[in-house]
Amino acid sequence: MTVLVTGGAGYIGSHMVLALRDRGEDVVVLDTLATGRREAVPGDVPLVVGDVADRALVRDLIPRRGVDAIVHFAGSTVVPDSVANPLAYYANNTIGSHALISEAVAAGLGAFIFSSTAAVYGSGEGRPVAEDAPTLPESPYGASKLMTETMLRDADAAHGLPHVCLRYFNVAGADPAGRAGQSTPRATHLIKVACEAATGQRAGITVFGTDYPTPDGTCVRDYIHVSDLIDAHLAALDHLRGGGGSQTLNCGYGRGHSVREVVTAVGRAAGQPIAVTEGPRRPGDMASLVADAGRIRDVLGWRPRHDDLDEIVRHALAWERRRAAA
Ligand SMILES: NC(=O)c1ccc[n+]([C@@H]2O[C@H](COP(=O)([O-])OP(=O)(O)OC[C@H]3O[C@@H](n4cnc5c(N)ncnc54)[C@H](O)[C@@H]3O)[C@@H](O)[C@H]2O)c1
Ligand SMILES: O=c1ccn([C@@H]2O[C@H](COP(=O)(O)OP(=O)(O)O[C@H]3O[C@H](CO)[C@@H](O)[C@H](O)[C@H]3O)[C@@H](O)[C@H]2O)c(=O)[nH]1
């Protein structure tokens, strides 16, 4: 039994590879290295440099490596880029996933876990959003992911493809043991950008929009520690391997933090405040997005272990300091 981790050289995927390896599973990574890094994959884990859209490659890989489960992280991830280049996002996220799902069906796989996103929802108006809330993506990125969820649902109904769609809210932090973290080039994620500012790699941070209908005027998000997110994937894998049915589950804590709160927390962890410039709104951003995180607790028995903004920021900053010193 081998787990195929697509996008395993990226930020979140590399944490999954470590977690699977920690519990003695066989793993193979498929990654184009578009935004991932070869060094993020441990030397004893096979890395196939290739595209999930390459059906012949995937068709060969599944039986050759004895793959019984796919965890599909590979994709393009930046909301504003998807607004500027929608067709590139539909190609890589939706069409690429179509190819991978087709091969998973052809191989008769019994477990497929998909990295979906809270961006499939419309703006939550400050209230926590549950899985049965309307899906009204406001960016091509969110739409590209929702289409993949739909393909999985329909392929499962027609052919049997047990799967779990995990709708991540904002993922942040780093492996508490310091083995992995976010190294995305030209990163746009708030906590990553603020940690780059805290370590002198940027002059400061621009807050995108201060006139949102939120308590302090800046956007509110539900930040989840990457290690808690990986625990959710391991639980989803066990659920499917144990014969559990397909699920769509939010991954968040059910609590929001504003951009200003996050930037203050990074300054607190760094020991000095981050220089802030106030700028206009960024295209594609929603005012507020917070998870109703009840279902994943009920279905998978998932319990967070790092549910604390200061801890998330501390781990992200520790990783950033290590990178800056390297
Ligand atoms: N970071 C977040 O807050 C967040 C939130 C919601 C969902 N997600 C989703 O989680 C997944 C992982 O995100 P991440 O933050 O680790 O991003 P990342 O860019 O670090 O990782 C993506 C990985 O996929 C690889 N890749 C891209 N296209 C590929 C393709 N066609 N075939 C093979 N490999 C390919 C990249 O090289 C990279 O290693 C993505 O699907 C993303 O949409 C992330
Ligand atoms: O330099 C910066 C970077 C971000 N922000 C703001 O911080 C918030 C969070 O932004 P970011 O960290 O880029 O995350 P999101 O745009 O919320 O998107 C993330 O979270 C989504 C789920 O909620 C995922 O689907 C996406 O892949 C992931 O990029 C937003 O209000 C941004 O406008 C700033 O003000 N300044």
Burial class (CB in 10 A: 0-12, 13-18, 19+), 305: exposed
Ligand 2 centroid to 172 CA: how many Å? 11
pLDDT computed for residue 85 by the predictor: 96
Which ligand is nearest to the Cα of residue 75, counting in written order? 1
CB of residue 32 inside a 6 A radius of ligand 1: yes
The model's pTM: 0.97
Mean pLDDT of the region 20-47? 97
Predicted confidence band at 185 (pLDDT cuts at 50, 70, 90)? Answer: confident
Q: How confident is the model over 48-71, as a mean pLDDT?
A: 98
User: For residue 268, what is the domain's CATH number?
Assistant: 3.90.25.10
For strands 163-168 and 220-221, give the pairing. Answer: unpaired
Rounded Cα–Cα distance for residues 187 and 233 (Å): 24
Instruction: Name the residue of 4, 31, 152, 169 whose CB sits within 8 Å of the most ligand 1 atoms, as the mutation to test its pocket.
Output: 31
To which residue do tokens 């990654």 refer? 31
Q: Would you state the pLDDT for residue 125?
A: 65
Cα(242)–Cα(34) distance, rounded to whole angstroms?
A: 34
Q: Which of 139, 118, 81, 84 is nearest to 284 (CA)?
A: 139
- Identify the domain containing residue 210 by its residue range: 173-221+254-325
Shared domain for 130 and 227, answered yes or no, is yes
**Cβ 101 vs Cβ 59: under 8 Å:** no
What is the C-alpha to C-alpha distance for residues 263 and 216, in angstroms, rounded to an integer?
13
Total domains in the fold of the chain:
2
| Segment 215-266, tens digit of pLDDT | 999 999 999 999 999 999 999 999 999 999 999 999 999 999 999 999 999 9
State the pLDDT at residue 286: 86
3-state secondary structure 151-218: HHHHHHHHHCCCEEEEEECEEECCCCCCCCCCCCCCCCCHHHHHHHHHCCCCCCEEEECCCCCCCCCC
In this structure, the answer to whether residues 113 and 234 fall within a common structural domain is: yes
How would residue 201 be classed by pLDDT, with cut points 50, 70 and 90? very high
Distance 169 CA to ligand 2 centre (A): 10
Q: Could you give the residue numbers annotated as active site? A: 141
Nearest CA to ligand 1 atom 12: 73
Pocket test for ligand 2, best of 262, 281, 282 (most atoms within 8 A of CB): 282
Mean pLDDT, residues 85-107:
98
Arithmetic mean of pLDDT over the chain:
96
Q: Evaluate if residue 177 carries a pLDDT over 90.
A: yes
CATH number of the domain enclosing 31? 3.40.50.720
Same domain, 98 and 158: yes
CA–CA gap between residue 249 and residue 303 (Å, rounded):
14
The Å distance, Cα 213 to ligand 1 centre, comes to 30
| CA-closest residue to ligand 1 atom 11 | 73
Dist CA 75 CA 90 (whole Å) = 10
Residues 161, 212: one domain? no
The answer to whether residues 133 and 270 belong to one domain is: no
Please tell me whether residues 18 and 117 are part of one structural domain.
yes
Starting from the CA of residue 71, give the closest ligand.
1
β-bridge pairing 223-225 and 276-279 = unpaired
Higher pLDDT, 285 or 130: 130
Q: Residue 303 pLDDT more than 80?
A: yes
ipTM of this predicted complex? Answer: 0.97
Specify the pLDDT at position 122: 81
For residues 80-101, average pLDDT: 96
Q: How far is 72 from 13, CA to CA, in rounded Å?
A: 9
The mean per-residue pLDDT over the stretch 143-172 comes to 98
- For residue 124, the model assigns a pLDDT of 62
